[in-house]
Structure 1
Amino acid sequence: MANFELVTAADVQLMQALAQRVTATRPDLVNSDATYGEPAWNWGRGHADEGAGRPRRLWFSGGDLVAWGWASLPHRARRSDGSVKDVIGAYLAYQVHPTTPGWSTR
Structure 2
Amino acid sequence: MTAADVQLMQGLTQRVTATSPDLVNSDATFGEPAWNWGKGHVGDGASWPRRLCFSGGDLVAWSWAHLPHRVRRSDGSVKDVTGACPAYQVHPDHAGLVDG
Q: TM-score, normalised by structure 2?
A: 0.83
Q: Percent identity?
A: 76
Q: Mean Cα displacement is larger for which, 64-73 or 42-51?
A: 42-51
Q: Which aligned segments of 4 or more residues in structure 1 are displaced greater than 4 angstroms?
A: none
Give the equivalent residue in structure 1 for 2:31.
Answer: 37
Segments of structure 2 that go 5 or more residues without pairing to the other structure are none
1:27–1:53 distance in 2 versus 1, CA, 3 Å = same
Q: What amino acid is aligned across from residue 8 of structure 1 in structure 2? A: T
1:50 Cα deviation after fit: 2.3
Deviation by residue 1:13-65 (Cα, 9 ceiling, x = unmatched):
11111011001111111111111100010112223542567211111110110
Segments of structure 1 that go 5 or more residues without pairing to the other structure are 1-6
Q: Map 1:64-75 onto structure 2 (within 5 A).
A: 64-75=58-69
Q: Map 1:24-103 onto structure 2 (within 5 A).
A: 24-47=18-41, 49-51=43-45, 54-100=48-94, 102=96
1:53–1:18 distance in 2 versus 1, CA, 3 Å = farther
Count of aligned pairs between the two proteins: 99
Q: What amino acid is aligned across from residue 12 of structure 1 in structure 2? A: V
Q: TM-score, normalised by structure 1?
A: 0.79
| Greater helix content | 2
Q: What amino acid is aligned across from residue 6 of structure 2 in structure 1? A: V
